[in-house]
């Protein structure tokens, strides 16, 4: 599975707090997906997507 953080991130850090194995802040201070979503993190990555207050996270198989 692949994750992507689209434009519009508000730098709240919710995704990073939920799934730091996939998300981190980049040099501009916004979240990015820096790793493919391993099977053991699919559930927490989906939770990060669902909890994002601005709905900017996409998950693709």
pTM above 0.75, yes or no: yes
C-alpha–C-alpha distance, residues 15 and 4, integer Å: 11
Residue 31 confidence (pLDDT): 98
Q: Name, in order, each residue with C-beta under 8 angstroms of 43's C-beta and a sequence gap of 6 or more.
A: none
pLDDT tens sequence for the chain (61 residues): 999 999 999 999 999 999 999 999 999 999 999 999 999 999 999 999 999 999 999 999 9
């Amino acid at each position: 599975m692949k994750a992507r953080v689209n434009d519009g991130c508000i730098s709240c850090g919710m995704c990073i707090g939920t799934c730091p194995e996939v998300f981190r802040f980049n040099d501009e201070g916004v979240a990015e997906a820096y790793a493919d979503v391993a099977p053991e993190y699919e559930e927490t990555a989906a939770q990060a997507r669902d909890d994002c207050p601005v709905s900017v996270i996409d998950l693709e198989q």
